């Protein structure tokens, strides 16, 4: 049998250091913990059998564990499980199991009451599915820490970047289809859309002055600027040289959206996705720079042995014999040291 085309195989399966995946996992865990806690305040009206939506809407092919346990106590159990699993993903403890539980719980809650779910919540769920497919606990995790001293903590073994690729493509698709949908309207074509969006009182986070929100020039600039930024985020982000600039534009755009409009966790979930675009070598350097800075801090000065395990350079570790999704043994763990600069 011939292998898949080389470019395709390299894109999806070429072993890559797991530093980026680890940071994406941690960032995702932070956002997910916050999301779960924020929903817990309104669990009764949104999810209970005596709430605003007493029964799950019958959407074909959707499911929820609350179908099998339709009680308020079960809602509490799902919340507790989700919170525990979110912390598990954050710290990387039994990461695969935690990520799978996250997906089941998120899906169960989202389908139980889809009327309170926005695009950011959907993106959180989709990213959860992708993370559950990934060896997300390979680096910077309790799972890794428990393997000391057999395997040093500050290593980023190589694995298939499949999940990160899915996240990247998901973000590109999101922007592409968002622009496509907007161009079918009127206000995005005549440059007035952002003016309307900023004046919808129910979603406004801060009171912007009328001269700003009702200015034709400002609205035109922001409307067409949004479309241009979204097109760039869907396309130019794949060019290594333009990527930092495009992602910077995206961060600025989503920060402005988050500051002016109540979109929940949307911007933060998008930022998690942006991290997936950081090259693994760059992310490894950043992580080790943070590690070295922490070690130099006065708080870290201690005569006790380094609790995070031996430094990677002087201590050889056995080759990681785990398998990639391709079924082939992975290469020797990639090592990065501050001295070598990655």
Partner 1 sequence: MVTQWVLSALLAFVLAATVVWNMPDSGLRRGIIPLVTPVMNATGLHQSWIVFAPDPPRLTFEVVARIDYADGTSALWRTPKGGALVGHYRTYRWRKWMESARLDSNQDLWEPAARWVARTYNHEGRTPTQVQLVRRWRELPPPGSTVHDQPGREYTFFTLSLPVGGS
Question: Which residues within the stretch 239-258 sit at the binding site for partner 1 (CB under 8 A)?
Answer: none
Hey, what are 281's tokens? 């070598």
Q: Least distance (Å) from partner 1 to the CB of residue 245?
A: 23
Residue 230: name the closest of 187, 181, 196, 158 by CA.
Answer: 181
User: Is the CB of 150 or the CB of 184 nearer to partner 1?
Assistant: 184
DSSP letter for each residue of 134-186:
S-TTSSSSHHHHTTTTTS-TT---EE--HHHHHHHHHHHHHHHHHHHHHTTSS
User: Is the CB of 26 or the CB of 123 nearer to partner 1?
Assistant: 123
Q: Least distance (Å) from partner 1 to the CB of residue 111?
A: 8
Chain positions 75 to 114 lying near partner 1, rule: CB under 8 A, are: 103, 106-107, 110
The correct pick among 56, 112, 125, 285 for binding partner 1 (CB under 8 A) is 125
Which range of residues in 215-223, 241-249, 277-285, 297-305 is near partner 1 by CB under 8 A?
Answer: 215-223
- Identify whether the C-beta of residue 45 lies closer than 8 Å to the C-beta of residue 72: no
Chain positions 163 to 202 lying near partner 1, rule: CB under 8 A, are: 166, 169-170, 173-175, 177-178, 180-188, 192-197, 199-202
Chain positions 20 to 39 lying near partner 1, rule: CB under 8 A, are: 34, 38-39
User: Is the CB of 54 or the CB of 305 nearer to partner 1?
Assistant: 54
DSSP run (H or E) holding 17: strand 16-17
According to DSSP, residue 329 is labeled B
**Residue 314 in contact with partner 1, rule: CB under 8 A:** no
Rg (CA), the chain: 22
**Residue 235 in contact with partner 1, rule: CB under 8 A:** no
Q: Least distance (Å) from partner 1 to the CB of residue 195?
A: 4
Q: Least distance (Å) from partner 1 to the CB of residue 161?
A: 12
**Residue keyed to tokens 């799978």:** 100
**Residue 6 in contact with partner 1, rule: CB under 8 A:** no
User: Is the CB of 97 or the CB of 178 nearer to partner 1?
Assistant: 178
Count residues near partner 1 (CB under 8 A).
85
Q: Least distance (Å) from partner 1 to the CB of residue 28?
A: 15
Which range of residues in 151-159, 213-221, 294-302, 333-341 is near partner 1 by CB under 8 A?
Answer: 213-221
Counting Cβ atoms within 10 Å, is residue 176 exposed (0-12), middle (13-18) or buried (19+)?
A: middle
- From residue 247, alpha-carbon distances to 158, 270, 292, 323 in Å are 25, 11, 27, 33
Residues 6+ apart with CB under 8 A from 279: 20, 240
Phi, then psi, of 3 in degrees rounded to 5: -75, 165
- Identify whether the C-beta of residue 105 lies closer than 8 Å to the C-beta of residue 85: yes
User: Is the CB of 143 or the CB of 320 nearer to partner 1?
Assistant: 320
Q: Give strand ranges (E) for 97-194.
A: 158-159
The correct pick among 51, 70, 76, 279 for binding partner 1 (CB under 8 A) is 51
**Residue 14 in contact with partner 1, rule: CB under 8 A:** no
Helix (H, G, I), strand (E, B) or coil at 16: strand
- Identify whether the C-beta of residue 28 lies closer than 8 Å to the C-beta of residue 173: no
């Amino acid at each position: 049998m011939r292998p898949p085309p080389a470019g395709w195989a390299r894109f999806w399966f070429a072993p890559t250091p797991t530093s980026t995946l680890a940071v994406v996992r941690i960032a995702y865990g932070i956002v997910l913990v916050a999301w779960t806690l924020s929903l817990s305040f309104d669990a009764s009206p949104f999810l209970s059998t005596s709430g605003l939506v007493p029964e799950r809407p019958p959407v074909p092919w959707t499911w929820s564990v609350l179908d099998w346990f339709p009680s308020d106590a079960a809602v509490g159990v799902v919340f507790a499980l989700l919170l525990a699993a979110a912390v598990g993903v954050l710290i990387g403890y039994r990461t695969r199991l935690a990520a799978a539980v996250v997906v089941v719980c998120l899906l169960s809650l989202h389908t139980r009451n889809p009327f309170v779910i926005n695009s950011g919540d959907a993106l959180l769920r989709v990213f959860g599915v992708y993370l559950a497919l990934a060896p997300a606990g390979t680096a910077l995790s309790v799972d890794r820490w428990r393997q000391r001293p057999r395997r040093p903590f500050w290593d980023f073994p190589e694995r298939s970047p499949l999940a990160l690729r899915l996240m990247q493509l998901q973000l590109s698709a999101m922007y592409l289809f968002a622009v496509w949908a907007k161009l079918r309207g009127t206000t995005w074509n005549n440059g007035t859309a952002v003016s309307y969006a900023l004046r919808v009182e129910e979603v406004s986070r801060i009171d912007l002055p009328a001269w700003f929100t009702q200015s034709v020039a400002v609205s035109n600039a922001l409307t067409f600027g949004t479309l241009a930024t979204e097109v760039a985020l869907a396309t130019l982000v794949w060019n290594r040289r333009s990527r930092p600039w495009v992602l910077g534009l995206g961060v600025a755009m989503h920060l402005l959206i988050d500051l002016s409009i109540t979109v929940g966790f949307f911007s933060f979930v998008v930022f998690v996705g942006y991290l997936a675009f950081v090259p693994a070598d760059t992310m490894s350097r950043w992580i080790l720079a943070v590690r070295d800075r922490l070690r130099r801090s006065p708080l870290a000065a201690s005569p006790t042995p380094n609790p995070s395990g031996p430094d990677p350079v002087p201590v050889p570790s056995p080759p990681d014999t785990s398998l990639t999704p391709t079924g082939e043994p992975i290469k020797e763990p990639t090592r990065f040291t501050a001295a070598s600069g990655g």
